[in-house]
Amino acid sequence: MMTDHGIGTRQDWLATRFGGYGHAAARLLSLAAAPTFAVMALIAAFGPADMLCAAMQGPFSLQGMVPMYGLMSAFHLAPWLRLVR
């Protein structure tokens, strides 16, 4: 006899993970994304060229890793904006 065990809500799923600390872990990880990408953009822009995988085309070029990391940082600002409001 099979029963239907749905996942339920996101909160129910998180409540069962990490010994009940799943929601706190997810919140901390969401807050860590934007600053991490911002630091990576700074390293890509001003770090030595031997630290990077590819050759730099200039720190403020529209091609390469700097704009990508900047956009990723901007897209992950939502958790920080929720803290402000």
pLDDT of 19-60, one tens digit each?
767 778 888 888 999 999 999 988 888 876 655 555 555 555
36, part of any domain:
yes
18 or 73, greater pLDDT: 73
* Residue 80 covered by a domain: yes
CA distance 14 to 17: 5
Q: Is residue 73 left, alpha or beta, with left meaning phi > 0 and alpha meaning psi from -120 to 50?
A: alpha
Structurally, the chain folds into a number of domains equal to: 1
pLDDT of residue 27: 85
| Residue in the block written with tokens 């403020």 | 60
Q: Is the pTM of this model over 0.85?
A: no
Task: Give the domain extent around 55.
Answer: 30-84
Q: One-letter amino acid identity for 38? A: A
Measure the CA–CA gap between 53 and 35, rounded to whole angstroms: 21
Q: Return mean pLDDT, the chain.
A: 76
